[in-house]
């Protein structure tokens, strides 16, 4: 179980099923192990704690998306197609279902799990967890 799993599940359980809202999961370093770039067609081993959270949300019919720069507009169509094939296979193998992939936020995104992001306290401009 991830650290503070119960508290996290309590927070996530407030998301209404089938609401149109979604939770984003960064791929490299968050959902899958990442140590260095090995190419568009390589995705690391799953990180069990994050996969457990995705599975929990999926079981509650809360939309989850993979949010990754691998899907950004700067990628070639060829690389995007190759990545999507590998990503779908990875999801089926480790999650049992596929996920939508995006590189951008929208108004329906509620939360983002990301190894590089710093949480900012709303309307304060201070970084959470540093005080």
The domain of 81 spans 5-113
Residue 11 and residue 16: Cα distance in Å, rounded? 11
Q: Which whole-number Å values give the CA distances from 104 to 34, 66, 69, 122, in the listed order?
A: 21, 10, 9, 20
Tell me, what CATH number does 58's domain have?
3.40.50
**pLDDT tens for each residue of the chain, 131 residues long:** 556 777 777 778 878 778 889 999 999 999 999 999 898 889 999 999 999 999 999 999 999 999 999 888 888 888 889 999 999 999 999 999 999 999 999 999 999 999 988 888 889 888 877 76
In a domain, 9, yes or no: yes
In a domain, 26, yes or no: yes
């Amino acid at each position: 179980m991830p650290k503070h799993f119960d508290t996290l599940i309590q927070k996530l359980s407030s998301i209404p099923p089938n609401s149109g809202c979604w939770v984003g999961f960064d791929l490299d370093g968050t959902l899958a192990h990442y140590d260095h770039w090995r190419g568009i067609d390589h995705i690391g081993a799953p990180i069990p704690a994050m996969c457990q959270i995705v599975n929990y949300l999926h079981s509650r019919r809360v939309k989850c998306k993979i949010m990754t720069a691998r899907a950004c507009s700067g990628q070639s169509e060829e690389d995007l197609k190759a990545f999507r094939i590998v990503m779908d296979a990875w999801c089926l193998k480790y999650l049992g279902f596929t996920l939508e992939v995006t590189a951008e936020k929208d108004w329906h995104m509620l939360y983002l799990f990301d190894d590089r992001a710093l949480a900012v306290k709303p309307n304060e401009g201070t970084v959470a967890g540093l005080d």
